[in-house]
Chains A and B, each alone.
Chain A
Amino acid sequence: MSISTLVSIKGAPASSRHRRGAPDHEPAGSRRSHARIRSHALRAVPVWLRHALFIAALIGVWELAASQGLLDPAFFGRPSGIAAYLWKGFVTDGTLWRGYTLAGAVIAFVGGSVCAVATGLLFMVFPGFHRASEPYLTLLNAMPRIALAPLFLLWFGLGIGSKVAVGFSLTFFIVLSATVAGIRSVNSDHLVLPKALGATPRQVFTKVTLPSAVPVIFSGFRLGLIFALLGVVGAELIAAEHGLGQTLAYLQSTFSMDGVMGLLFLLAFLGLGITSLMNRLERALLDWQ
């Protein structure tokens, strides 16, 4: 029994030519069988372990480079310092648990989404209103919304109100265009049968239009939530009393790169958590897809 046969038995699905005990016709030591051994050996390591090893290596190299002076911690921080910052924020003094940013993002997302879906439905019922307001909406949507932050700060103050306003303005347009697209995406074949059956407009809406629009609207929600977070953090960076963005701006101005890096990782994981939550929700609600 050659090495490649052994490995293929241990590894994931053995190809039909490599059934247990089948004679190996590849000449031992050929380039192809070497490549196969390598790929089989890699496949035996679970994916999460491969990622864990990669990240551990990356952190090790970073820490080493920082301690050897190859990577200036004043600009890049260092893993041990970042860990210490996060430990302090989450365990020792708990300041990172306060959740102003998350609360702002959730409020902006819920408010923006509810208003957007309502507006989308209004557009469906009154197409004339839709046509009339389209150019203005396009103009507003084209504007980089974060540029409105100074205005919102003036109107709604330094607190959470101005942050919610920026997040809202981003979420609203994303979910609105998803709602409009979703309603338009109805398969016309699905509308003939209800018509033949004499379904009322209400029945057509609840039983055909809405269910076919939901997946598109949902992808709008997914994006909208990420942008709500972006809007809130962005506004906090500009001026705020609390929040991750405000802390980030403060740490940056005091050159605490460990803290800045720690917060960046925290924000990345927050976004990741939100996305996977939405994915899970989508799979549970839209399992017909």
Chain B
Amino acid sequence: MDAACAIEVRDLSVRFGGGAAASVLAVDNASFTIVPGEFVSLVGPSGCGKTTILNLLTGLLAETPEGEARVLGKAPRPGNPDIAYMLARDSLMPWRTALGNAVYGLEVRNVAKAERKARARALLARVGLGTFSDKYPKALSHGMRQRCALARTFVLDSPVFLMDEPFGALDAQTKLQLEDVLMDLWSADRKTVVFVTHDLAEAVALSDRVIVMSARPGRILADVPIDLPRPRSIRALQNDPRFHTLYGRLWGLLEQGMAGHVH
């Protein structure tokens, strides 16, 4: 396998429920590579295996897949320090303050107390929660909790970020704000990101490439480069004709992938 790749997935198939007749083929023969520093979105209809792919790369999958997957040249395993995983739900721990949540990953990774606090405070300030670091999640709005979850993920400073529909549950306005926050965080040192979403506009606005998957069993339909210049303003993009052209193209591909499926 290619050592220059941040992520390499080759001929990957994942089946849940063993070989039994009732088993579910979640991912069907998927292959893609991502180079370091790339921001790649994975889009596709719900249930097409996006989360499954992220879980596989994190080493959380109980099933043994067919094919191969590598993260920075290494086989997936839980606790891989090269990966920072941001889960679909905010899942902040309600008994920890914003700061407590932000330091959590560093705590597990045994970073010294003073250092992890300093790093977490810096991240909270960058996501706009500087004055809220002593607040418990119950006192934070949905958008603020998601900002905190972003801080908790980026504080890990891992070379690879896996993000599973992090803004899926937000209203449109808050979503745009958080996409800007994410762009700010990412632009600073351009780590590799695999960003799962079912929102095509979000995928186009953020990514260098968008990988389109079919409905289950998830196959890769297209790999579309997004050649919009950076830095990008998410708001300004909404009025950019090139943005809408790309959006239309992706939409067409996704429609194609859904064809034959009743929803």
Contact = CB atoms under 8 A, between A and B. Distances in A.
B48 to A, nearest CB: 20
Contact of B83 (A196, A208, A286): A196
Contacts of B81: 198
Contact of B93 (A190, A198, A214): A190
A36 interface: no
Contacts, number: 60
Contact of B95 (A193, A198, A288): A288
Size bin of chain B's contact surface: 20 to 34
A289 B59 CA distance: 33
Q: Which of A192, A197, A208, A288 has the most chain B CB atoms closer than 10 A to its own CB?
A: A197
Contacts of B83: 196
A198 B108 contact: yes
Q: Chain A: interface secondary structure?
A: helix
B18 interface: no
Contacts of A214: 95
Nearest to A286: B95
B65 interface: no
B105 interface: yes
A198 B89 contact: no
B151 to A, nearest CB: 14
A157 interface: no
Given A194-B108, A196-B60, A197-B105, A189 B79 contact: no
Interface string B72-96: 0000001111010101010101111
A10 B222 CA distance: 71
A34 interface: no
Nearest to A192: B87
A198 B82 CA distance: 12
Contact of A187 (B58, B59, B91, B109): B91
A214 B104 CA distance: 19
A38 interface: no
B79 A197 contact: yes
Interface in B90-149: 91, 93-97, 104-105, 107-109, 136-138
Contact of A196 (B58, B93, B136): B58
Contact of A189 (B59, B87, B95): B87
A85 B176 CA distance: 72
B221 to A, nearest CB: 28
Nearest to A196: B85
Contacts of B87: 189, 192-193, 196
B94 A192 contact: no
A98 interface: no
A288 B136 CA distance: 6
B108 A197 contact: yes
Interface of B: 58-60, 78-81, 83, 85, 87, 89, 91, 93-97, 104-105, 107-109, 136-138
- 8 closest A-B pairs by CB: A198-B79, A189-B91, A288-B136, A196-B85, A197-B108, A211-B95, A199-B108, A288-B95
19 contacts: A189-B87, A189-B89, A190-B91, A192-B87, A197-B78, A198-B79, A198-B81, A198-B108, A207-B107, A211-B93, A211-B95, A214-B95, A287-B136, A288-B94, A288-B95, A288-B97, A288-B136, A288-B137, A289-B138
